[in-house]
């Protein structure tokens, strides 16, 4: 178990209050009707399953119920950054 800082509640809470919601920054195709079935399947089903630091989405399911982004190591589970959608994550 680990702690996650919810950027909306502005509190550190136990991981059990949250639910993972998949990899972040998956861009929806602008014109889905113009892409192949393979490209659509790639968008819907396939993820990088990256080993190491990566961005993912979480939802504070037993709290404010808002989605936000977490940069987390998939090796150590260390949380490196937490950000609300639209926040500057460049630093």
**By the criterion CB under 5 A, which residues form the site for Zn ion?**
6, 8-9, 60, 63-64
- Beta carbon of residue 80, minimum distance to Zn ion (angstroms, whole number): 19
Give the nearest distance from C-beta 2 to Zn ion in angstroms: 16
In whole angstroms, give the CA distance from residue 87 to residue 82: 10
Length of the chain: 91
Tokens of 57: 């989405």
CB 17 within 8 A of CB 66: no
Residue 54 or 60: the one with the smaller Cβ distance to Zn ion is 60
Beta carbon nearer to Zn ion, 55 or 67:
67
Q: Which is nearer to Zn ion, 6 or 24 (CB)?
A: 6
Token pair in block for residue 88: 């500057």
Place of tokens 């909306």: 8
In the bound complex, what is the minimum distance in angstroms from residue 64's beta carbon to Zn ion? 3
């Amino acid at each position: 178990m680990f702690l996650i800082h919810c950027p909306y509640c502005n509190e550190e809470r136990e991981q059990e209050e949250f639910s993972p919601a998949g990899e972040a920054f998956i861009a929806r195709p602008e014109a889905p009707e113009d892409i192949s079935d393979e490209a659509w399947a790639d968008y819907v089903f396939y993820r990088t399953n990256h080993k190491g630091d990566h961005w993912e989405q979480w939802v504070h399911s037993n709290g404010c119920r808002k989605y936000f982004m977490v940069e987390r190591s998939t090796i150590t589970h260390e949380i490196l950054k937490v950000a609300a959608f639209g926040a500057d994550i460049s630093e």
